[in-house]
A and B are shown apart, each in its own frame.
Chain A
Amino acid sequence: DAGVIQSPRHEVTEMGQEVTLRCKPISGHNSLFWYRQTMMRGLELLIYFNNNVPIDDSGMPEDRFSAKMPNASFSTLKIQPSEPRDSAVYFCASRMRHNEQFFGPGTRLTVL
């Protein structure tokens, strides 16, 4: 298995632009998580899905952030419009119930 796949690995964009981050979880995993990591705030859970259904989005910072999981093998995290304070590393992770959680390689987002 290739593990959790994220794209792009790096994204540089200008303030106000739309950013879409993508994640492919490990096949067979039924839970998917989006995290944001910064030096100041550490590792923050933004939203997670179970069986493609959003369970808890209380960590989504504001309405500019949205996430979808249209099927078991794909999820997106969208920021529209992006702001410089959104610059961070965004990790996707997946897990099969009762088992360990695996992280993807992350997307490093820079908003100028």
Chain B
Amino acid sequence: GENVEQHPSTLSVQEGDSAVIKCTYSDSASNYFPWYKQELGKRPQLIIDIRSNVGEKKDQRIAVTLNKTAKHFSLHITETQPEDSAVYFCAAYYTGTASKLTFGTGTRLQVTL
């Protein structure tokens, strides 16, 4: 089955700096890669996703890149703000069957003033 590894487990940046979270996956058939943000006491919420036919996707201050050959994808947050502080999860799955999302173990991002 799919295995997703996520690094780092914790990340502290100063407000205004950029943050990068990296994930690798094992199943070359995976073709959908979402990122979820979970604030303290809240549910995980999708913030951005990318499909395997695209190398990069951007939405305001967040962007995701995908390298299918190397089987890794990354989340980039620019101009970080205190409200970006949360746990971020990457995930991967193959949309062709009734399969499950495989989640990474999460990255706790702390944006300090």
Residues of A within 8 A of B (CB): 31, 33, 42-43, 45, 48, 50-51, 55-56, 91, 97-98, 100-106
**Distance in Å: Cβ of A87 to nearest Cβ of chain B:** 15
A100:B49 contact, CB within 8 angstroms: yes
Question: Which B residues are in CB contact (< 8 Å) with A102?
Answer: 46
Chain A residues within an 8 Å CB radius of B98: 31, 50-51, 55, 97
Q: Which residues of B contact A98 (CB under 8 A)?
A: 32, 95
Tell whether, in the assembled complex, residue B46 and residue A100 are in contact, meaning their CB atoms are under 8 Å apart: yes
Nearest first, the 7 closest Cβ-Cβ pairs linking A and B are A50-B98, A103-B43, A98-B95, A103-B44, A100-B46, A48-B100, A105-B43
B residues contacting A by CB (< 8 A) are 32, 34, 36, 42-46, 49, 89, 95, 98, 100-101, 103, 105-106
Bound Cα distance A59, B95 (Å): 21
B-side contacts of A100, CB under 8 Å: 34, 46, 49
A43 & B103 in contact (Cβ 8 Å cutoff): yes
Given contacts A33-B100, A43-B106, A100-B49, whether A91 and B43 have CB atoms under 8 Å apart is: yes
Of the A-B pairs whose beta carbons lie under 8 Å apart in the complex, a sample of 29, sorted by A's number, is: A31-B98, A33-B100, A33-B101, A42-B106, A43-B44, A43-B103, A43-B106, A45-B103, A48-B100, A51-B98, A55-B98, A55-B100, A56-B100, A91-B43, A91-B44, A97-B98, A98-B32, A98-B95, A100-B34, A100-B46, A100-B49, A102-B46, A103-B36, A103-B43, A103-B44, A103-B45, A104-B43, A105-B42, A105-B43
Nearest residue, chain B, Cβ from A45: B100
Question: What A residues does B46 contact at CB under 8 A?
Answer: 100-102
Contact for B101 among A91, A101, A104, CB less than 8 A: A101
- In the complex, residue of chain B having the shortest beta-carbon distance to the beta carbon of A48: B100
B94 CB to nearest chain A CB (Å): 10
Q: Write out the residue numbers on chain A whose beta carbons fall within 8 Å of the beta carbon of B101.
A: 33, 101
